[in-house]
Amino acid sequence: MTNTVTKVLVIEDDADIRGLIIKVIKGMDLIALEAQTINDGTQIAAKEKPDLIILDLGLPDGDGIAFINNYRSWSTNPVLVLSARVQEHEKVKALDAGAEDYLTKPFGTAELMARMRVLLRRLSQSDTNTPTFSFGDVKIDLSLRKVTKVDEEIHLSPIEYQLLNILLTNSGKVVTHRQLLKEVWGGQHTEDNHYLRIYMGHLRQKLEDDPTQPKFLLTEIGVGYRLDI
Amino acid sequence: MNKKTINSSLADRPLFSGLICIGIASILSLACAALLGIVDIANIVMIFLLSTFLIATSLGRNAAIFSAFINVVFFDFFFVPPRFSFSVDDSQYLITFLVMMIVGLVTGHLAAKLKEQIKDVSARERLAKALQSLSRGLFSAQSDEQIVQVSKSALEVPLGIEIDLFITENLDQLKIDKFDMQSVAWSMQSGTRIFNEVDEVDGKSIIYLPIRSELKTLGILVASDSTKSLRHYGRDDLLQTAANLIALEVVQLRSAQARELSKVEAATERLKSAILSSLSHDLRTPLTTMIGLAESLQERNQGINSQSKADLETIRSQGLRLSSMIGNLLEMARLQTQGPTLKKEWQPIEDVIGSSIKHFSTSFPKSIVKTSITSDVPPLYFDEVLIERVLCNLLENAAKYSLESATIEVLVRKNEQFVEVSVIDAGTGFAQEPSQLFEMFARGISDTNKSGMGLGLAICKEIIEAHGGSISAKNNESKAGSVITFTLPITENSELPKL
């Protein structure tokens, strides 16, 4: 995992978009691999063991979710999913199946680079976690269970703290409703989204300057939440 | 069938069978008289008894009784001494007469009963066969007309009755002068059979049987026999069974038809959504390349001056707007063909407002949005994806019709049973009657060069109304600009935690 070259595999059937993504990858000084179909993608992934896979959900030869399920059976390396907006449910399914993040077409290159950086950074420092985080004027020390905003201590309820903790450990990357509910409330509450939304609202009230236009605790409509730091 | 008719007609004519009995007795008397020396008188008695028995089996009970009596008379007259007179010398013969009489009567009765039983069994067999052929016929019936046809042909001739079958749930469609409509109506409405065993006026036997599934009356079967009661050979019970069979087949036919219909509908739906999603994919793919390339060119530091960078920004933001318009178009197509399918969840409205503003500012980076939400606004029950589209459309609309860096306001407040969300701009306002804005393809300013197809507001209306809310537009009274307000109903949810 700690080899010096980082390989990114792009599985996308449209040549122009593939070209664009590859250009971005090369611009980041990474090795780009490409495939046009799920079939080719599976073979290249098995042979080259890429550090990151960028997968289009609208491929002609098959189901992207089946690919993710298969890939997750032997690799934990991140998968970034590309979807058109109509495939709303598909992308949630892909995330719940084990994809790390998604981008909706049309997306900008800056957005793509930001997503890729988050996923690759998480990969390289997966076991050098630090207990302290900060965003805006909020500082969090997980070892002391202490949250401060403008040096003033903020009291969080256990559930709010747990939510924040999960978002922090996944910072920069989307976390689906289902994943959050499962981690905080356990397996049987994966449909009770309203609890989650209300606690999330509280967290925003306490940590964001303007809760109606949050800068860090972002809502991904129809998908989940993202802590953008 | 023909044999039966002859036999029954013989048995039905007493004079004819009486003559036969007399004829047989005469022939026997003549034959035995000729053989009197050879055949013992006791055996002559036996021959007479045998003739009674045979008559019983072939001509029935009454003929057998008559034959027993005639045989005693002939035997007495021709053979008992003194011969050719009715007087009897030896009183022993009185016992012979008595035995002849009793044996004749008993055998006659038994034989006749046996014959009747055979007749009954074969009649019932015919009924069973009729029922069999009915169920076979119904099995292959594909329409109501075929069911009627099969039932008539399977039942009418074998049962010797007249059948009328109507498969309809609607009484008004049944206007039959032939029948007593009151009985038909009562039978269909109550779902019970009406049996008029013998009509007082014309002697007709008639039965009204509703064709019933578990809960519904699907039609009515009317059977009539003008000569005898339908109770003969249990034909009334058989008709009830037939009505049940027909009901079963009608139900099966209905559900098969419903299945076929829903299969077609499902296929149509699949086709529609396949077209929509492939359109969406095909239209967005070139846009993604365009926007992505514009963006990566903007980031290049060499060979691109600031004017070109501004042009690239225009390409990028117009691409994003085009993408949003395609989204509107596809969403409208989806709403029009499938109707809004809402995935409602309880959530605070702030979430969706925040994310729409974020989404909106990628294509309108210079616009400033101010939000204000009163603290009494409760969580609402709505589809976040669709409401986000409404808000994005309203924000884009506001931005398109006002100055580039103008401030747009989003106000949220509680108003009795609704939450009102208003998007306020400081633009040019609406030139036309605001209520017409929500018609498809209506545009606020007709001779404008602003982008947009007027679809946005039509979609908003569709989505908000599907949520049980309303949307309205007006020009701002105090200053320039317009206000578009939509409402979402407040519903109680006991599941929500008290916070």
**What pLDDT score was predicted for residue B441?**
56
Closest CA to A181 of A202, A159, A204: A159
Closest CA to B410 of B128, A44, B420: B420
| Cα–Cα distance measured from residue A208 to residue A227, given in angstroms and rounded to the nearest whole number | 12
Distance in Å, alpha carbon of B275 to nearest chain A alpha carbon: 11
Q: Which residue on chain B is closest to A18 by alpha carbon?
A: B289
**What pLDDT score was predicted for residue B359?**
86
Do the Cβ atoms of B358 and A213 come within 8 Å?
yes
| Sequence letter at residue A188 | Q
**What pLDDT score was predicted for residue B451?**
47
Tokens of B189: 């409405």
A106: preceding bond cis by omega (within 30 degrees): yes
Give the model's confidence band at A217: pLDDT under 50 very low, under 70 low, under 90 confident, else very high. very high
> Is pLDDT above 50 for B4?
no
Does the CB of A221 have a partner CB in chain B at under 8 Å? yes
Does the CB of B288 have a partner CB in chain A at under 8 Å? yes
Q: What is the pLDDT of residues A11-51, one digit of tens each?
A: 998 888 899 999 999 989 999 999 999 989 999 999 999 99
Do the Cβ atoms of A17 and B352 come within 8 Å?
no
Find the largest Cα–Cα distance for chain B: 158
Does the CB of A96 have a partner CB in chain B at under 8 Å? no
pTM of the model: 0.61
Phi-psi region of B469 (alpha: psi -120 to 50; beta: other; left: phi over 0): beta
Interface test with A, best of B277, B279, B281, B344 (most A CBs within 10 A): B281
Does the CB of B323 have a partner CB in chain A at under 8 Å? yes
> Is pLDDT above 90 for B262?
no
CB B217 within 8 A of CB B247: no
> Is pLDDT above 60 for A117?
yes
Q: What is the pLDDT of residues B23-74, one digit of tens each?
A: 888 888 888 888 877 888 888 888 888 888 888 878 877 888 888 888 888 8
Do the Cβ atoms of B347 and A109 come within 8 Å?
no
Do the Cβ atoms of B385 and A88 come within 8 Å?
yes
Closest CA to A89 of B349, B267, B268, B343: B343
Does the CB of A220 have a partner CB in chain B at under 8 Å? yes
Residues near B15 by beta carbon (within 8 Å), at least 6 away in sequence? none
CA-CA distances (angstroms) from residue A179 to A7, A89, B157, B435?
28, 15, 73, 44
Closest CA to B235 of B159, B137, B164, B162: B159
Contacts of A112 in chain B (CB under 8 A): 292
CB B281 within 8 A of CB A104: no
Do the Cβ atoms of B319 and A194 come within 8 Å?
no
Strand order of the β-sheet with B471-475 is B368-373, B407-415, B418-424, B482-489, B471-475
Q: What is the pLDDT of residues B412-466, one digit of tens each?
A: 999 888 999 999 988 777 766 676 677 655 555 454 444 445 678 888 888 898 8
Q: What is the pLDDT of residues B312-355, one digit of tens each?
A: 888 888 888 888 888 888 877 777 776 777 888 888 898 899 98
Does the CB of A98 have a partner CB in chain B at under 8 Å? no
Interface of B with A in 260-279 (CB under 8 A): 276-277
Q: Roughly what angle, to the nearest 10 degrees, separates helices B235-298 and A109-124? A: 90
Do the Cβ atoms of B285 and A210 come within 8 Å?
no
Interface test with A, best of B326, B337, B351, B413 (most A CBs within 10 A): B351
Interface of B with A in 394-413 (CB under 8 A): 410
Give the model's confidence band at B117: pLDDT under 50 very low, under 70 low, under 90 confident, else very high. confident
Contacts of B289 in chain A (CB under 8 A): 14, 16-17, 19-20
Interface test with A, best of B298, B346, B350 (most A CBs within 10 A): B350
| Cα–Cα distance measured from residue B122 to residue B250, given in angstroms and rounded to the nearest whole number | 31
Interface test with B, best of A177, A219, A225 (most B CBs within 10 A): A219
Do the Cβ atoms of B354 and A220 come within 8 Å?
no
**What pLDDT score was predicted for residue A86?**
61
| Cα–Cα distance measured from residue B390 to residue B471, given in angstroms and rounded to the nearest whole number | 10
For A219, which of B288, B316, B354 is closest by C-beta distance? B354
Do the Cβ atoms of B369 and A106 come within 8 Å?
no
Contacts of A210 in chain B (CB under 8 A): 371
**What pLDDT score was predicted for residue B494?**
55
Do the Cβ atoms of B299 and A106 come within 8 Å?
no
Give the model's confidence band at B158: pLDDT under 50 very low, under 70 low, under 90 confident, else very high. confident
Does the CB of B351 have a partner CB in chain A at under 8 Å? yes
Do the Cβ atoms of A202 and B496 come within 8 Å?
no
Q: What is the pLDDT of residues A60-114, one digit of tens each?
A: 787 788 899 999 999 989 999 988 766 677 888 899 899 999 998 888 888 899 9
Q: Which residue has the higher pLDDT, B82 or A187?
A: B82
Do the Cβ atoms of B355 and A20 come within 8 Å?
no
For B284, which of A19, A84, A112 is closest by C-beta distance? A84
For A84, which of B280, B316, B384 is closest by C-beta distance? B280
**What pLDDT score was predicted for residue A2?**
47
Q: Lowest mean pLDDT: which of A68-82, B295-309, B388-402, B412-426?
A: B295-309
| Sequence letter at residue B204 | K
Does the CB of A200 have a partner CB in chain B at under 8 Å? yes
**Average confidence (pLDDT) over B182-191:** 83
**What pLDDT score was predicted for residue B9?**
47
| Cα–Cα distance measured from residue B427 to residue B405, given in angstroms and rounded to the nearest whole number | 11
Q: Which residue has the higher pLDDT, B143 or B278?
A: B143
Does the CB of B235 have a partner CB in chain A at under 8 Å? no
3-state class (DSSP) for residue B288? helix
Distance in Å, alpha carbon of B422 to nearest chain A alpha carbon: 15
Residues near A136 by beta carbon (within 8 Å), at least 6 away in sequence? A207, A208, A209, A215, A216
Does the CB of B320 have a partner CB in chain A at under 8 Å? yes
Distance in Å, alpha carbon of B155 to nearest chain A alpha carbon: 58
Mean pLDDT of chain B: 82
